[in-house]
Amino acid sequence: MFEAKEPIGDVLVPFRWDLLGFGFCRAWVTGYLAYSANEIWTSGASLGLQVALYLTAAIVAAIVALLSKRMMPDRVAGMAVPAVGAFAAIGTLGMACVMLGKLDAIDALFYFGFVLIGACCGFFETVWGIKFTKLPPSGIQIYTLFVMAVSSLLGIAMGLLPSSAFFIVSLVLFGAMAFLLLAKPSGSMLAAEASSKNDTDSDSAAGEARMRSGRALANVLLSCLVFSLIYNLVVSITYDALPSEMASQIRFWANLLAALILLCTFLLIKPLSAVSLFRLILPITAVGFVLYLISPAAFGEIALMISGVGRKFFDILTWILVARTVQVFGFSPLRYFGFLTAAKNLGYAFGLVFASVALGALDAQVIQIATFVPILLLALIVCFFWLFPERTIDNLFNTLPSSGSALSYEATMEENARALAKKRGLTPRETEVLMLMAKGRNLSVIMAKLHISKGTAHTHMTHVYQKLGVHGQQELIGLVEEPGDS
């Protein structure tokens, strides 16, 4: 179910330019995290600088998730644009505070700027998830890989900029991200939240599949917290064992390596399935830990780069899992993406706090690296084989809602497609073709499902495009998602 069924070119036509904004969002956040890390390792700033950013992001994301469950759908949709505008203003103020605090050496202003940036991080990473739930299944996977590669490449570019240019570029990225979030098809984004919220509240007969998927998602969120904690703990200790001037170089090469791997995956081979990604994360991350255990001085740099790739794959996997599960089972996007963002940032914050404690214990020789790192590696293995085993992915994707459930994304699409077909005067066979196309099915699948020839299927698809006035499958899907716009 999770492999991309269509060629990448078909999924990307027409290209969803608005989704590039998520890459800008990730690059913006990563840029300020790298900036704060440079302040910590080169200027002697406290680890509390990043802890404040992570904790604020976690708190804001959790608040958004909790409010989304209690608010009426029309209020969620109505408040979306004002909320984006408000947090855009907060982010702009945060960047100004960081810049002025650095120039005038005002620590309180500097720290306050990172708190505001953390708040924007928690909000924007949460709401961007809604757009991904509106993509067809293969689109979720392909666009996630694409925007993660974009964010890595932009992170590399930002790391090479002088301080003045960094603030200008970060402001441009932030503005572009906010604009693309609200750009079309932002209307479908808002409708997705309202629709899934209605579904979540109105139907108590979702059955065992929904309950099992809810438990599996809870495991994913808990695993995200544990993984983020362990990763940031090891990374912080490793940086401490290396010369401070190497910090920016390590982040540069780690981002470059991750970007190259993602681009190769995206362009040259079939996109990886969820299970394939899952099977790569633990070995890659564990190799980084082991190299650090052997010799922090000799292998610390390569250990950080390898672990960074593992972390990037984990981010991709959890994002795709949450997006697809929310889509299939009709869960609230804001609720689950909010908790995902909160879990990740809370884990990073705890990792930094524990790192400061561990560094003190290591300096005092209370514990030894040879004992400490194997314990963390064991905890990582437990996380993957107990909290987040492969059967969790099976629970999420191998049990779909019943065909009669109105909660199913595909059921909603079918209902919208029938109404649109009746309005546009489609024949019964063209209606069947439309429903399959709205689910993301390609020509070969339509041929097999309807037992018709290639030429007949192509003719029906052409007629559907003509009667609906669209020029591609993604445009058709957007029209079916928003029948009110037709």
Query: Cβ of 189: how many Cβ atoms within 10 Å?
Result: 25
Give CA–CA dist 423/431, Å, rounded.
11
Full residue range of the structural domain in which residue 45 is found:
8-397
pLDDT at residue number 193: 38
The answer as to whether 107 is a domain residue is: yes
Q: Where are the alpha helices (DSSP H) in 244-332?
A: 247-267, 274-294, 296-329
101 and 53 assigned to the same domain: yes
Check pLDDT > 60 for residue 403: no
pLDDT digit string (tens) for 10-33?
Answer: 566 678 888 999 999 999 998 898
134 and 211 assigned to the same domain: yes
The answer as to whether 2 is a domain residue is: no
pLDDT band at 292 (very low <50, low <70, confident <90, very high): confident
pLDDT at residue number 265: 64
Check pLDDT > 90 for residue 305: no
The answer as to whether 240 is a domain residue is: yes
Give CA–CA dist 264/136, Å, rounded.
22
Q: What does the DSSP 8-state code read for residue 271?
A: P
441 and 321 assigned to the same domain: no
pLDDT at residue number 198: 38
Listed in sequence order, the residues at least 6 apart from 366 whose beta carbon sits closer than 8 Å to its beta carbon are: none
3-state secondary structure 11-54: HCCCCCHHHHHHHHHHHHHHHHHHHHHHHHHHCCCCCHHHHHHH
pLDDT at residue number 182: 86
pLDDT at residue number 119: 96
Phi/psi class of residue 292: alpha, beta or left (left: φ > 0; alpha: ψ in -120 to 50)? alpha
Give CA–CA dist 158/32, Å, rounded.
9
- Out of 362, 397, 432, pick the residue that ends a domain: 397
Check pLDDT > 50 for residue 263: yes
State the total domains in the chain: 2
416 and 392 assigned to the same domain: no
Distance of alpha carbon 138 from the chain centroid: 15
3-state SS class at 429: helix
The enclosing domain of 275 has a CATH number of 1.20.1250.20
pLDDT at residue number 268: 59
264 and 116 assigned to the same domain: yes
For the residues 234-257, what does the mean pLDDT come to? Answer: 69
The enclosing domain of 479 has a CATH number of 1.10.10.10
- Out of 348, 370, 397, pick the residue that ends a domain: 397
Return the structure tokens found at 435: 């429903």
260 and 144 assigned to the same domain: yes
pLDDT digit string (tens) for 448-484?
Answer: 888 888 889 999 999 999 998 888 877 888 788 765 5
pLDDT at residue number 16: 84
Distance of alpha carbon 87 from the chain centroid: 19
Q: What is the pTM of this model?
A: 0.75
415 and 376 assigned to the same domain: no
The answer as to whether 225 is a domain residue is: yes
The answer as to whether 110 is a domain residue is: yes
329 vs 325, which has greater pLDDT? 325
